[in-house]
Every structure is written in structure tokens, then in C-alpha cells.
Structure 1
């Protein structure tokens, strides 16, 4: 009975996908279940690349961690978000999540990435859980942090891996899943539901890693979750603004749709609209070596706006400034940090203070982010060592080691403990 029900459900979903309308080519993307989209990392370049004109969203890698302690950024993140919005599509985020096995590690990763989010509030921040050691509680703790920050958490991965390394039922009861399963590595522009990784609460299905020739992840939105963060799913109506979103909106405002005609080329189209062919290719997530074909829809500069569009494309995207909290009567570093799910030492250091500093009502404190640190030196405590002795060996202060390593009691360290300077 269950198998018959699943077959009927999958057939109904397939039919629904086949009859979905396609809106506006490369123009604004509007809400609809069954929207196709892509996900990117640095391998898709500064402006990313879409597979087909009817793609409606991109999920962009911010960076991640491979050890739960050290984070890396994707240099393409901000410009890919801006490019997505410029093309009238919805932008979301994901973080590579490997060997994060404690809530403390999860906090460090999110303290680092949450202030850097360039998509609007309410948009997706997915955890890419597909490699290394995992901890279900740490994943859920991170999802709760993402939700508390005003974003929509998702858990990405392969069903078999997630079932082996996490309590997937527990996670799926609380968050929508983004699951991947591919029938093969042939070019696959539409999902094959014969290999659908059936499970509860799947919001996005990544159905191929070869959406187009040469490789590109292809995804389908099964629930409308990619509308999140955008009013009625319209990419030009984000719930909140960020520097990348503003840049993308400005480029979109100064461009319009153009349908490629026979014998067109990047140079011919760009020349017609007073643009550089390199800028034209960039704002369409392509290069001048990308083949264009009749019927394809591109964004081109409005009359007289060619140089302004070029200026916008070449303008670096500013980083968000983070969130601030105004100190109230009775507040302390501990109470403020606890309210914002931070470590109180991180809170103090982010504001150039120590936890012994006096704070006062009306004072503004930055309440997310991470202490900027140079490359770390690591020392493992030996029997009989003290924190003050280790600080002297590493050429730093006890206070610095307490902040970096979240040590509350400077008199309490133990053999084998990892101390980073």
C-alpha cells in the first residue's frame, strides 16, 4: 500500500512539474513550486552560471569548515549573490559543514558566517552535511542559531550518508531537507523521480551534478521554500537589504530582457546597447566563450546605461556591518551574550573590550561576529604546565589565550588540552 501511495505521489509531482508555467526568461523570478535552480561554489566563477533561462534561484556557498575550528571564505560569494539578483533570480546560502561535532564548534562557525550573510532575512542558510564526522545535536543547534538570527535553516546531503552519520528522522522532524541523488552523470535538465531519495520533509531535490555539459548542480524546489526572504518570491522585493542585494537590484534596474536572434554574438549585442561584451557576459553569468543561441534571453543595458552597468559590475561588494544591541539597565556581558547565543568573551573582544570592562545603559555593542585572528599557533598542554607559562612560551598574554580558547578559569588547564594563540 505504501509503495502504491508513493508511486502515485511521485507521478502527481512529476505531472505538476511538467505543467508549471515558465516566467520571464532572465527577468524577475516569481513564486512557484517546482522552480528549477542551481547551487554554486568558487568553481562557477565570480558571477556564477545558470543552466537554463527558466532557472529561478541560486544557492551560493559562503565558505565553511573542515575541522570545526578554522573557517574559510569563498571569494565568489558576494558577487555571485549580486549576480543572481541582477538576473532577477532569488539568492540563498550554504555552508560546508565537516567535523563539527559539538555545540561550541557550531557556535564558532556561525559566529564567523552569520555577520557575513549577503542575502535577505528569511532566506535559506543550508548546512552542507556530506563528509567527515557529524553530530546530530550540533547540527540542530546550528539550525536553531540560524533560525534565531532570522534565516531559514536547511540540511543538505545524501540520504545514505545522513542516515549513517546522523539521526535524520530527528532532523527532518524539525527542518526541511535538501537531498541529492543522481541517476548517472549524463546531462540532465529535468529530475528523474525514479531515483528520488524518498524521505519526509524534503524541500529541495538536487537531481544532477551535470545539469549542463561540463558540470553544474541542478535543483528543484518541491515546496516553495526558495521563495523565502522575497515578497511573493520576487527577487526584486527582498524582505531586507544587503550590499550585494542592492548592487544586484541596481544592475537589474538598469537592464532589460533581450532575446537572442540568429547571427547574434556577444560583441554584436553589446555594441548595440553601448556595453562591453565582457560586462554583458558577466551580468548574464557567462563568459564571452559561452555559446549563445537564438531564443535565449539575456539582460542588456538600458539605453545610455552601458557604462553605469559596467561600473556597478566592477564595484566591490561591501561586507554587511553586523547587528548591534543597545545596553539596558541590569545588562551584563553574560546576559547579552546568552540572549544572542554568543560566548561572552567573543562579545567583549568584538567590541574591543574585556569582560572586566564597564558597560552602561545606552551603549551599542556588536552582537555577532568573530574575533579576527592571524594564523594560529597551537600548543598541547603537558603535565605541570600553567596557562601563564604557556602564554610566555607563545609570546602572548593569559587574557588573549582565555579569549581565543574560551577558558573561564585561567588556573584550570589539563594535560592534552589544545591551546591556540
Structure 2
């Protein structure tokens, strides 16, 4: 074969290869092409979306930094914010364990119980710094972590840049074990980009999500495109039905009629001191009121109403009111309603009565009598009016 024919053949084969590559990329992309964002503490407590068309969110739960696990305080609120916005929300972790297996397992043992996204959702390892000099050690660490993620009921993914993975990790082993599980970043520039440029696609086996920019909008935000539909993990039709059932169940619980539970306690409390309130079913919540030093407070009823537990209190100065003791949601939601309803004793005002005479007759001070009826001793009372005396 002469040189010109060989050169033509090489060019032809190269063109076929590039065409195959772009068809492969576009066929992957056609599976979903949903776009979304990823958040860390830099997107504040509620996160920031690029556009209304965003379908998914990855939010950082924390990670392993400098030899220790450091959780991000924005994680829980960002998950709630994304869920409220109707997005598919997933989790990622900064994976700075290098090739240390003990640290890798300890990291997963710490974070997996703290995942707030649904079972089946993605838990991605952000492995882009701190790799050891051993490709084998790094790869084994990642495999062990992904195995723990899967065993916990989540979908494992690996995030990084193509060059970093090629230098430090045997990705072919990981892809053989977990299929298309790579989330790769490759930016052509740092200009604002609202959609991916596939000319800069990080072509390698197993890519499921392409992070195509860190300037999804002016000011900076990562933009991602789902090539395979992997961000639908944990958000199947079945899980949506379950979520809808949970919402209906919660709504039904909120409509329930809650009882008033008897509770009496006296004592001297101090600023910011936690007071545990024990119900008849031995459940506990903590009060959120602030007391002044040395002030005596009497609780004479605990009222459970919708999302909050309230307690009626009487201060030593005779004034009374209600405070929130805590929320009633959680695994014991709806169970804090045992006990008997509190019954009040009423007195009907007669002609000639006064705050003083009624208070004396019932062993109360005028101030207490007036305050527990939402009035002051200067309020005029009338015959036929009912007052609470017990």
C-alpha cells in the first residue's frame, strides 16, 4: 500500500472513530439530558438554582478533610429546599482519604447514617485531591466505599476530573464493578455556559454525568447534564407513589384532634436551662422559653396542637401565657396524645361580685384570677360572665 493510500485510510478511520464517539456521546445524552446543579456551603442554607428547568441537585453532606470528618451545616436545609422545589436531590461527599482504607471505612460509617436523601438516591464520592502514590490503594479504597454506599441502599458514583482519575485511579475496574458511575468535570473555558459543549466531553468509559461548566450563570455555579438518567435513581414511579402516600399520611395526622394532657411542675429555672417535659406516655420534649434567674414558673397543662407542643405557664408575678415546648413530628408523631383532657372549673359572675370576692372565695389572688382569664384586675366584669377559677 502506497503512502497516499495509507494516509487516506488513516484519515478515514479517524473520521469514523470520531463519528462513533459523537454518536455514542449523543446517544448517551439523549437518554436524559436533564440538567442540574451541585451545592456546598457556598450556596448558603437554601442553595441556588441556575434555571427553572433544572431537574436535579447534588448537595454536599460534608467530607474527610485533613484527617477528620467535617459535616456541612447547610446539608439538611439544602435537601429540604431542593425537595420543596420539586427537584431530585442527591448527596456527595468530599473524599480526602487518599489510599487509607481505615479512614475510608470510618468516613462512610460516619456519613451513611446521616444521609438525608431517599434510599436509592445517589451518594457520590468527590475524589479530586489527596490521592496516594499507589493507584491500587486508591482504587481499592474507592471500591470499598462504593460497596458500603450500595449496601446502605444508595446508588454509588465517583466524581472527579478525567486527568486526575487517569493519574491516580484504575477507573476501568470501578466501571466494571458499577457500570456507568462516573461524574466528570471538563470545562472549555470559564465563560457563562447554559448548556454543554460536547466538543469538550471527557470521553472515557462509564461517564453518566458531565459537569460542563463552573459558570452555569453569572457569578459562578456548577452546571451538570445527566447522560444516562442516573439522577432518577431513588425517584422512580414507585418511590413517588410512596412519597405521595407519606404526604397524605402526614396531612391526615395533622388533621387529628389532639388532647390536652395534664401536667404539673413547680420549680426555679434559669436562662437557657433545658426543662424536660414528661407526658403520661413517658415521651419527652424540651422547652424553648427563656426564664429569668430565680423566677418561679408553674406549668399546669401541656397542650398538643398540630405541629407543636404548647405548655400553659404561670409566672411568679401572676402573669401567664403559652410557650412552645417542641415539635411533634418524628417517629413518635401522633403518639403524644395520651392522658385525660383537662377540665376547668368555672364560676358565673353574680351581681355584686368583684375580682376580690371571687378570688377570695376560690383561694386565688386577684391577679392570678384575672390573668388566667386573659384579663387584668382593672377589667370590668358583668353578671352572667363565666370565669375560670381552676
Kindly indicate which of the two structures has a greater share of residues assigned to strand.
Answer: 2
Indicate the SS of the match to 2:173. helix
Q: Distance in 1 between matches of 2:141 and 2:106?
A: 12
Q: What is aligned with 2:184?
A: 179
Aligned partners of 1:118 and 1:9: how far apart in 2? Answer: 37
**Distance (whole Å) between structure 2 residues aligned to residue 2 and residue 104 of structure 1:** 46
Counting only pairs closer than 5 Å after superposition, residues 228-239 of structure 1 correspond to structure 2 as 228-232=233-237
Note closer, same or farther for the CA distance 1:144–1:11 as it changes in structure 2 (3 Å cut). same
What are the Cα deviations for residues 163-189 of structure 1, in whole angstroms up to 9, with x where unaligned? 101112212222310010000000000
Do the aligned residues in 2 keep the contact of 1:211 with 1:217 (CA within 8 Å)?
Answer: yes
What displacement does 1:161 show?
Answer: 0.5
> Hey, what does 1:51 align to over in structure 2?
50
16, 21, 44: which is aligned to 1:4? 16
Residues 116 and 319 of structure 1 are in contact (CA less than 8 Å); yes or no, is this contact kept in structure 2? no
8 Å contact from structure 2 (residues 28, 227) kept in 1: no
Q: Which runs of 5+ in 2 are unaligned?
A: 1-12, 133-137, 252-306, 308-325, 333-390
Relative contact order, higher structure (CA 8 A, sep 6+) = 1
Cα deviation code 1:347-406 (max 9, x no counterpart): xxxxxxxxxxxxxxxxxxxxxxxxxxxxxxxxxxxxxxxxxxxxxxxxxxxxxxxxxxxx
Q: State the TM-score, normalized to the length of structure 2.
A: 0.56
Task: Provide the secondary structure at the position in 2 that maps to 1:126.
Answer: strand
Change (3 A) 1:34 1:88: same
What is the aligned partner in structure 2 of residue 118 from structure 1?
116
Maintained 8 Å contact 1:229/1:238: no
Pair 1:167-2:174 in alignment: no
**C-alpha distance in 1, partners of 2:244/2:156?**
16
Classify 1:2/1:63 alpha carbon distance in 2 versus 1 (closer, same or farther; 3 Å): farther
**CA distance, structure 2, for counterparts of residue 166 and residue 156 of structure 1:** 12
Whether 1:223 aligns to 2:228 is yes
Residue 4 of structure 1: CA displacement?
2.5
Tell me how far 1:104 sits from its aligned partner. 1.6
User: 2:14 and 2:189 mapped to 1: Cα distance?
Assistant: 27
User: How big is each residue's C-alpha offset from its partner over 1:255-281, in whole Å with a ceiling of 9 and x where there is no partner?
Assistant: xxxxxxxxxxxxxxxxxxxxxxxxxxx
Offset of residue 234 of structure 1: 7.7
Question: TM-score if structure 1 supplies the norm length?
Answer: 0.52
Unaligned runs of 5+ in 1: 21-31, 251-307, 309-314, 322-421
Partner of 2:202: 197
Match of 1:214 in 2: 219
Q: How does 1:276-315 map to 2 (within 5 A)?
A: none
CA contact (8 A) 1:48 1:80 kept: yes
Give 1:98 shift.
Answer: 1.2
Contact preservation (8 Å) 2:97, 2:103? no
**Deviates further, 221-230 or 5-14:** 5-14
Aligned to 1:23: none
- 2:147 is aligned with 1:149: no
Aligned CA-pair RMSD? 3.2
Q: In structure 1, the residue corresponding to 2:219 is in which secondary structure?
A: coil
Larger radius of gyration: 2
Distance 1:128 1:51, change over 3 A: same
- Judge conservation of contact 1:188–1:208 (CA < 8 Å) in 2: yes
Give the secondary structure class of the aligned counterpart of 2:131: coil
Contact 1:90 1:235 in 2 (8 A): no
